[in-house]
Amino acid sequence: MRLRLIVRGRVQGVWFRGWTVDQAEALGLDGWVRNRRDGDVEILVSGPDAAVGELIARCREGPPAAGVERVEVEETDETVPPGFAQRPTA
């Protein structure tokens, strides 16, 4: 399963990217996370359905300081690099 997630709400300046890397690595997922200039966080993720679903569930809560309003999910055919990395703001 390969998905792009857009996480909206109070998700920048609250350690969301670093937290996402930790969560994705613990679940054995590939992809990346980055801040967007519009204030959202974008995630590209690939892995087994159950693990990707678990990451989505965790992102709906986020780290303690976050205030997630919603997580938008869309399928993608974009190539996902191995491992899970934090990327610069786009």
| Kind plus residue range of the DSSP H or E element containing 9 | strand 2-10
* pLDDT value of residue 62: 98
Q: How far does the chain reach from its first CA to its final CA, in angstroms?
A: 24
Catalytic, 37? Answer: no
Q: What fold characterizes domain 2-78?
A: Alpha-Beta Plaits (3.30.70)
Active site residue 36: no
For the record, the structure tokens of 10 come out as 């109070």
Q: Which of 2, 17, 37, 60 is catalytic?
A: 17
Backbone angles phi, psi at 36, to 5 degrees: -115, 150
pTM recorded for the entire structure: 0.97
Grade residue 40 by pLDDT with cuts at 50, 70 and 90: very high
Per annotation, catalytic residue among 34, 35, 60, 70: 35
Asked if residues 1 and 68 have their Cβ atoms less than 8 Å apart, the reply is no
* Segments making up each domain of the chain, as ranges: 2-78
